[in-house]
Structures are given as C-alpha cells and as structure tokens.
Amino acid sequence: MHEHPLQRFFKSLRERPVFAWERFQMRDVLVIDHPLCQAVFSRQGAQLLHFQPRGQKPWLWCAAKWPQVGAIRGGVPVCWPWYGRHPSENAWPSHGWARLIDWKLLDSSTDDEGVRLHWQLQLCDWQVDLHAHLGETLELRLCTEHQDELPCQLSHALHAYWRIGNVGEVALSGLEGAQGYDQLNRQVCQQEGELRVDGGCQRVFQHEGELHLKDHAWQRELCIDTGDSADTVVWHPGSRPLLGVSFNEASGFVCVESAMAGASLAPGERAHLSLQARAGA
C-alpha cells in the first residue's frame, strides 16, 4: 500500500494539538489530530484532502505531487458555482472558482464525537458555506445563498476521490435499476447489477439513498450517501492519462460524487448539497 502523502504529519510520537496549521507543497493545510480520526484540509478550496478514522486505512485518495498553482487533485474538491466546463465561457476553469480560491475558516470545534468546521467563501453576489463533521464517520454539507437581485443558474458538486486497494477489484452496489447517462458512450443507461469501473467510467445517475463501495483488495466496505437532492456521479479515467498522476496512483481511487446540475436560483434562494460516509459492517 502506497502511503498517503499527508500521513507524514502524523508520524511524530509527540502529542499534537487537535488543530494545527502547516505548510505543504506551497499550500496552507490544517492538520487535524483527534482521538477518533486524523484529517487534513487545504485552505485553498476548503478541500478535505485526507481522512482516516483511528485503526482504519485512509478513506480518501490524494495525488502525491501537486501543481505549483491551480487545483489539487484528490480528497473532496468543492466544484462551484459550476460543475464541469462552464456552459458559455470556454476560457474559465473547469469545475468553477471555489477550488482555486482560499476560503475563510469561520469556526472549528472539538468534542467526544469528533471535530466540526465551518468554511465560507464570498464571491460577487454569492455566498457558499461548507460544514464538516468528522469523527468515526464523514459528513460534508454545502450551502449556497444567491444574494443578487436576478435569478441565476448554479451547478455544484462534492467531487470525492475514495481511496481503494485496486480499481480492478472494487464494485459499487446500490445503483441497481437506477436510470442515468453514460458520458463516455453519450447515451442513456440503466444500471444492472453491481457497477464495476475498471476500464473507465463516467456516469451520472438519478439516485437517492446509500451506496456500498466494496473494496475486495483491502477487504473493506464504505457506505456512501450522496443525499436526497443530488445526482450521483461515478467516475474513473481508466487507462486515460491524468496530468501529474502516475498510472499506479490512478489505480488507487474511484470517484463517487454528490452533484447537482442546472439549478435555477431566485434572489435570496439557497441550494444544498451533502455527502456522508461510514464504514460498512
């Protein structure tokens, strides 16, 4: 098993504070060391890069090498206020501005059940808040408030990279019978049986409820819930190269994301997105 690049912060035998800011690969990162879990956030993008409950393997994958500037690949990027390519501005960055900008950490607290954090970003007439609760489980909640006087279009995603033993030995259950769209083949699809992503996958499903990511190589199961108001996106590049990521690295993740595309917000209206995960039985 390749070591997660951010596990370096937890190797020291000295006692750490629960929250501590560090500098890593030209980014400010918040290192969290709680009796129930270890985690790392990047100030850029309010991006959860590492999460590991005590006694377990890491739940999230992150690239070992980050670009000097630009988006960090891995963890749970916040794609906002658009997901994918911008519908009209080709020169604007894929997946929006949020993952490229430093957020404000408004609050952090700790108790016997874990840690809670509240991140916020204000951009023009938008405000977006990310609430995180980490302990034996993982919970992220994204809330967008539209503060302009005119309606607007919003799409957003919590683009989670789940760490696995090997992409060829995982199966995703819970989507059986779900309707979706296969973006690689450009056609509608309906899932039959367990979904396997070896060889590449880019599918968007209309789905509610919990999914089970069965990782046979690591002999574990993660239960992932993308909420009741979102699409569920399953993605892996297959053999296609990813900039800055080796082939061996890419075999160690699969993306199961909470996403919402094309929502129209009235002035003062809010939009919500959530992502939760727990260890399987």
Q: Please tell me the distance from the alpha carbon of residue 55 to that of residue 90, in angstroms, as a whole number.
A: 45
pLDDT digits (tens, 9 = 90+) for 138-163: 999 999 988 777 888 888 999 999 99
Nearest CA-CA partner of 42 in 105, 126, 115? 105
Q: Looking at residue 2, what is its pLDDT? A: 64
Rounded to whole angstroms, the Cα distance separating 2 from 280 reads 23
**Which of 156, 159, 207, 236 is flagged as catalytic?**
159
Average pLDDT, the chain: 91
Mean pLDDT of 36-60: 97
Question: Looking at the DSSP assignment, which residues form a beta bridge with residue 121?
Answer: 128
In CATH terms, 7-13+21-279 corresponds, of 2.30.110.10, 1.10.1040.50, 2.70.98.10, 3.40.50.720, to 2.70.98.10
257 is catalytic: yes
- Of 35-44, 63-72, 86-95, least confident by mean pLDDT is 86-95
Q: What is the mean pLDDT of residues 165-178?
A: 94
List the one residue out of 24, 18, 212 whose CA is nearest residue 112: 18
Q: What is the pLDDT of residue 13?
A: 66
The pTM (predicted TM-score) of the whole model is 0.95
